[in-house]
């Protein structure tokens, strides 16, 4: 019998599969399709201090082997999450959930984490530092090691729960950002977030998205994600949640060999709402195929072969 258990920042998971934030909402729709307790955990929709309607449409564009999105952190705000979404999660998911947090200032990140910190259903905070810093002309917190460290320290001061910093791939050297977060006290790292991309409508001769640029996700970004997970694993000593283009159990094993402890499934949930369930159910078969008895034994294995 193979062992799919892993431990993420001190919390045990029955398997490493985590539906990624922004692709799974707060679990409501997916709970109508299958029992969410099959999941390792899931990362709920990026939550900000105040409600956000998001960006103007069009904000989604299909691409070969992926998609562009410029949704703009649409969410009901932290108070509504506390009053409505958390009670519902309590009904549909008996494990700890991962709370994804967004913000447009360091103070906002800290305030959201503080409000959610005492929620017993939350096991980890995943802090999305790809948000634009309104005090720095819109530059992402995740593109500057100093800013990334400041956000990390601010949220760590508001909670005793593990803090996982979600890194942007739109940087020259992601290892510098990763190291800065670790030094500032991060308990783990999630990578990668979406790559910036653009599509043009040939009929209108204008960009497809209202915001011109959007985040590119899907199977096409997997080699980039694997490379960044591999590099960050060699740089830090804290757990990594790897993600980017995951479609299969084989992809999960590949990410873990590169250094991921757990693996996020993102855009594939939008293509196939049963994707995460299917991957989990197929994982034992793939482990047997490649003579893997325990997933814990393969984390970072590609660095030693």
pLDDT digits (tens, 9 = 90+) for 132-183: 655 655 558 999 999 999 999 999 999 999 999 999 999 999 999 999 999 9
pLDDT of residue 133: 57
- Long-range pairs for 88-95: beta carbons < 8 A, 24 or more residues apart: 88/26, 88/27, 88/28, 89/26, 89/27, 89/44, 89/121, 90/121, 92/27, 92/28, 92/31, 92/36, 93/27, 93/31, 93/36, 93/37, 93/39, 93/42, 93/121, 94/37, 95/37, 95/39, 95/41, 95/123
Beta-sheet strand order (sheet of 66-69): 60-63, 66-69, 213-217, 195-198
The rounded mean pLDDT for the chain is 95
Note the CATH architecture for domain 6-55+74-197+218-303. Alpha-Beta Barrel (3.20)
- Among 37-51, 56-70, 123-137, 187-201, whose mean pLDDT is lowest? 123-137
pLDDT confidence tier of residue 304, bands split at 50, 70 and 90? confident
* Alpha carbon of residue 114 to chain centroid: 20
pLDDT tens for residues 250-281? Answer: 999 999 999 999 999 999 999 999 999 999 99
**Residue 294's CB: how many other CB atoms inside 10 A?**
13
pLDDT confidence tier of residue 249, bands split at 50, 70 and 90? very high
User: Which of the residues are catalytic?
Assistant: 131
Coil, strand or helix at 197: strand
**What one-character-per-residue DSSP string does 52-104 give?**
B--PPSP-EEEETTEEEE-----B--HHHIIIIIHHHHHHH--S-EEEEE--S
**What one-character-per-residue DSSP string does 14-63 give?**
SSSEEEPTTSSTTSHHHHTTS-GGGSS--BPPPB-SS-B--PPSP-EEEE
pLDDT tens for residues 186-207? Answer: 999 999 999 999 999 999 999 9
CA distance 231 to 220: 19
Mean pLDDT of 9-16: 97
pLDDT confidence tier of residue 54, bands split at 50, 70 and 90? confident
Q: Check residue 66 and give left, alpha or beta (phi > 0: left; psi -120 to 50: alpha).
A: left
Q: What is the pTM of this model?
A: 0.96
CA distance 258 to 303: 7
pLDDT of residue 305: 65
Q: Which helix (H) or strand (E) holds 8?
A: strand 6-8
Domain range summary for the chain, segments of one domain joined by +:
6-55+74-197+218-303
pLDDT of residue 187: 98
């Amino acid at each position: 019998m193979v062992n799919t258990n892993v431990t993420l920042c001190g919390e045990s998971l029955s398997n490493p599969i985590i539906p990624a934030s922004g692709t799974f909402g707060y679990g409501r729709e997916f709970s109508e399709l299958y029992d969410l307790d099959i999941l390792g955990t899931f990362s709920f929709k990026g939550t900000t201090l105040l409600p956000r309607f998001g960006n103007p449409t069009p904000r989604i564009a299909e691409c070969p082997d992926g998609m562009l999105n410029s949704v703009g952190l649409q969410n009901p705000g932290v108070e509504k999450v506390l009053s409505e979404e958390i009670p519902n999660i309590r009904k549909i998911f008996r494990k700890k959930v991962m709370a994804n947090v967004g913000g447009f200032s360091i103070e906002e990140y800290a305030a959201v984490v503080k409000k959610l910190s005492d929620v017993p259903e939350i096991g980890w905070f995943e802090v999305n530092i790809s948000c634009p810093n309104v005090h720095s002309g819109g530059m992402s917190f995740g593109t500057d090691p100093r800013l990334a460290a400041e956000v990390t320290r601010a949220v760590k001061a508001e909670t005793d729960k593990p803090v996982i910093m979600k890194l942007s791939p739109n940087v020259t050297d992601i290892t510098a950002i990763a190291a800065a977060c670790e030094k500032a006290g991060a308990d783990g790292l999630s990578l990668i977030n979406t790559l910036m991309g653009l599509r043009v409508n040939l009929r209108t001769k204008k960009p497809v998205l209202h915001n011109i640029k959007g985040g590119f996700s899907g199977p096409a970004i997997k080699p980039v994600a694997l490379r960044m997970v591999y590099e960050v694993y060699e740089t830090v000593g804290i757990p990594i949640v790897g993600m980017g283009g995951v479609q299969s159990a084989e992809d999960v094993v590949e990410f873990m060999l590169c250094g991921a402890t757990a693996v996020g499934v993102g855009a594939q949930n939008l293509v196939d709402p049963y994707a995460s369930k299917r991957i989990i159910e197929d994982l034992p078969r793939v482990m047997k195929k490649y003579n893997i008895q325990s997933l814990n034994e393969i984390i970072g294995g590609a660095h030693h072969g």
